Homo-oligomer: A and B are copies of this chain.
Amino acid sequence: MICYICKENELKLLKHMDITPLLSNNALSMRRSQIRDLLSVATRPEIISFAGGFPNPQTFPLDDLKTIMQDVLDQEGSAALQYGSTDGVMSLRQEISKLYKREEGLDVPVKNIMITTASQQALDLVSRVFINPGDVIVCGLPSYLGALQAFWSYQGQPYGLRHNLGLDEACNVLCATGKKPKFLYSIPDFQNPSGETMTLEERQYAVEVAQKYDLLIVEDTPYKNIRFTGESVPSMYSMDPERVVMLGTFSKTFVPGFRLGWVVAPDNVIDRLIVAKQSADLCTPAFSQLVAARYLASGAYDENLKKTCALYHRKKDLMIKAFEEYMPEGVKWTNPDGGLFLFLKLPKQYDTRELFDIAIKENVAFVIGEAFHCDGSGKHTMRLNFSFATDEKIVEGVKRLANAIRQLYAKHA
């Protein structure tokens, strides 16, 4: 062969390939999860980790699943193990529609529900269908890291908003400077990581702003039904179903390991998402969808969810009690009505990345708050999960963390 570069007869074989020049701009724009990298050091068994967003395995309905799995294999094994349709198994979509009716009195047509490989895929598909390189997405400061990663992976530019009330002004400025946002991304219930829940008025305001500037809203609701106290607030989807794409998941209310989530969206959006999902993974496993559908239909889902909420409520109270007992001066924390996380703030001059190294030596782990701030702020904040650890580890872990914070204070005294 004649080399097309040097025009010589001899072909120099390029044994060790350098792929860097071949990477797409998407790949270069992707950000590796800081959680993942920081936590790779936190897997030693002696470390108490408040870092992940793991549900408590106590809440996994193992016995129910054993029975249901046998039934699915016995009664519909061939369909369960075959390719499924891209929009998802009909019986599961029907159960999700019933769930909305039961829990929120909301009528969601089955045709507007698409099953996804958990809500991370929904975030990915929504990003793929709407984000062009450079497009602005308005989100919270802080906001869910997985959503930020999805936006970045399509070269989107998340614009972080510290307060909901600034939304109109921010959209006005962005539009005036030619950076009209593509959509608003919001986790209105027990936000990850802040734990905040938008009031009814805040939701109405956000919908009005979206209408004013003709923007889409992406409403992410993974924690909505993990509520301990207070009343459920109507979704933004219920206020303008033509404008809101609502994401749901069974990861926190059932099991995360099946990777089952869904999107509710207007006809024209669902149609685009189905085409996007075709090339993303063809379909979500039919087997786990059929198992979930039967589990929901049995009524056990609702019962188990009540127990899950009671367990997490108790664990949240326990962690806060431990904070009150052990934390040094200046540490502030949230006390949310639901969800899986507490959000902590140190006095502004401290950096939780520095704290992280001390904490790991003390055998306790968390997620640095900076990871959730698309503008690099929030260096004095951190997220702690209370759903996964045992009661003993919650208390012991808080003691260790309080000790680490004292060391950080002393270092800078």
Residue numbers of A with Cβ under 8 A of B are: 1, 3-4, 11, 13-17, 19-20, 22-27, 30-33, 36, 52-55, 57, 60, 62, 65-66, 69-70, 73, 77-78, 80-84, 86, 117-118, 120-121, 123-124, 128-132, 135, 146, 149-150, 152-154, 168, 171-172, 175-176, 182-183, 208-209, 211-214, 216, 242-243, 251, 255-259, 266, 268-269, 272, 275-276, 278-288
A11/B212 in contact, CB under 8 A? yes
The one of B31, B128, B171 that contacts A153, using a Cβ cutoff of 8 Å: B128
Q: From B55, B128, B216, give the contact of A24 (CB < 8 A).
A: B128
Q: How many whole Å from A217's CB to the nearest CB in chain B?
A: 10
* Chain B minimum-CB-distance residue to A182: B22
Q: Are A208 and B11 interface neighbours, CB within 8 A?
A: yes
Cross-chain contact A30 with B275 (CB below 8 angstroms): yes
A82 touching B4 by the CB < 8 A rule? no
Task: Establish whether residues A243 and B17, one from each chain, have CB atoms under 8 Å apart when the complex forms.
Answer: yes
Chain B residues within 8 Å of A279, by CB: 30, 120, 123-124, 146, 149-150, 152-153
26 contacts between A and B (CB under 8 A): A4-B171, A4-B213, A17-B243, A20-B268, A22-B130, A22-B182, A23-B130, A23-B272, A26-B154, A27-B129, A30-B276, A54-B82, A57-B77, A60-B77, A60-B82, A62-B81, A80-B257, A81-B255, A82-B257, A120-B281, A124-B281, A153-B279, A259-B285, A280-B280, A287-B288, A288-B288
Minimum-distance CB pairs A-B, first 6? A57-B78, A81-B257, A149-B279, A81-B255, A27-B129, A121-B281
Q: Is the CB of B281 within 8 A of A259?
A: yes
Choose among A19, A121, A149 the residue with the greatest number of B CB atoms under 10 Å from its CB. A19
A289: nearest chain-B partner, CB-CB = B257
Chain B nearest CB, measured from A380 CB (Å): 26
Q: A13-B211, A15-B242, A211-B11 are in contact. Are A73 and B83 (CB under 8 A)?
A: no
* Inter-chain contacts of A62 with B (CB < 8 A): 73, 77, 81
Say whether A256 contacts B130, CB under 8 Å.
Answer: no
Q: Taking CB as reference atom, which chain B residue is nearest A156? A: B24
Residues in B neighbouring A172, C-beta threshold 8 A: 4
Minimal Cβ-Cβ distance residue in B for A244: B17
Tell me which residues across on chain B come within 8 A of A70, comparing CB atoms.
66, 69-70
In the complex, A212→B9 CA distance in Å?
Answer: 11
A22 & B280 in contact (Cβ 8 Å cutoff): no
Contact B73 A57 (CB under 8 A): no
Chain B CB count within 10 A is highest, among A13, A53, A268, A282, for: A282
List residues of chain B with CB within 8 A of the CB of A65.
73, 77, 81
Which residue of chain B lies nearest to A63 when distances are taken between CB atoms in the complex? B73
- A282 surroundings in chain B (CB, below 8 A): 118, 120, 146, 259
Instruction: Give the chain B neighbours of A55 by CB distance below 8 A.
Output: 82
Q: Is the CB of A19 within 8 A of B216?
A: yes
Kindly report which residue of chain B lies nearest to residue A120, judged by CB atoms: B282
Report A54 CB to chain B, min CB distance, Å. 6
Contact status of A129 and B24, CB under 8 A, knowing A4-B175, A257-B82, A285-B259: yes
A285 cross-chain contacts in B, Cβ below 8 A: 257-259, 285, 288
Given the interface pairs A266-B19, A280-B280, the reply to whether A86 lies near B36 with Cβ below 8 Å is yes
Q: B276 to A153, Cβ gap below 8 A?
A: yes
Please give the distance in Å from A341's CB to the nearest CB on chain B.
15
* CB-defined contacts of A214 to chain B, threshold 8 Å: 14, 17
Known contacts A120-B281, A154-B24, A280-B124; A19 and B269 CB within 8 A of each other: yes
- Output the nearest chain B residue to A16 by Cβ-Cβ distance: B242
Cβ–Cβ < 8 Å partners of A13 in chain B: 208, 211
Give Cα distance in the complex from A11 to B251, angstroms.
39
